[in-house]
Amino acid sequence: MANYPSDLKYTKDHEWVRVNGNTAVVGITDHAQMQLGDVVYVELPKVGDTFEASDPFGSIESVKAVSEAFAPLSGKVTKVNEEMDSSPELVNEEPYGDGWLIELELSNSKELDGLLSASQYEEYLKEEGSE
């Protein structure tokens, strides 16, 4: 059984969000990293790039596949995890810690209402037959 911290919000695209005021740190879920397998390369946007919710913001390449990462919320990128350049395996090792991908300055906090709680995300995975 995968791990889904209850203090995070989740998307059906398998991203997680940790909100702190008007900023949100974004990564991929434990489920997503397990599906991908060993991550070998992560492509991230530049600081200052803006995205609408559901826009692809980067890609994650594993030994199995290349998968897009999607912005769970609209906003401007204020930080990118530069550790991904030299240590993309952090996505596998610590998906909710050092394996984070970007930080966004939120442009529409109402979009948070559309994200899933940990229990809703787990239920979604069961419905999809993923867990």
Q: 97-123, pLDDT tens digit by residue?
A: 999 999 999 999 999 999 999 999 999
Task: For residue 60, tell me if it sits in a domain.
Answer: yes
φ, ψ for residue 125, nearest 5 deg = -65, -40
| Average confidence score pLDDT of the chain | 95
What is the separation of C-alpha 97 from the centre of its chain, rounded to a whole number of angstroms? 11
Q: What is the DSSP letter of 96?
A: T
Residue 116 belongs to a domain? yes
Supply the CATH number for residue 40's domain.
Answer: 2.40.50.100
Backbone angles phi, psi at 13, to 5 degrees: -90, 5
Q: Which alpha helices (DSSP H) does 1-131 contain, by range?
A: 30-36, 83-86, 90-93, 118-128
pLDDT confidence bin for 46, thresholds 50/70/90: very high
* CA 3 to each of CA 34, 104, 124: distance values in angstroms, whole numbers, following the listed order: 11, 23, 14
Residues sharing a CB contact under 8 Å with residue 106, sequence separation 6 or more, in sequence order: 19, 22, 23, 24, 73, 74, 75
What is the number of domains present in the chain? Answer: 1
3 assigned to some structural domain: no
Is 5 among the domain residues? no
Does 118 map to a domain?
yes
Question: In this structure, is residue 94 part of a structural domain?
Answer: yes
44 CB neighbour count, 10 Å cutoff:
20
Q: What is the pLDDT of residue 88?
A: 98
Across residues 63-76, what is the average pLDDT?
96
Res. 63: pLDDT tops 80:
yes
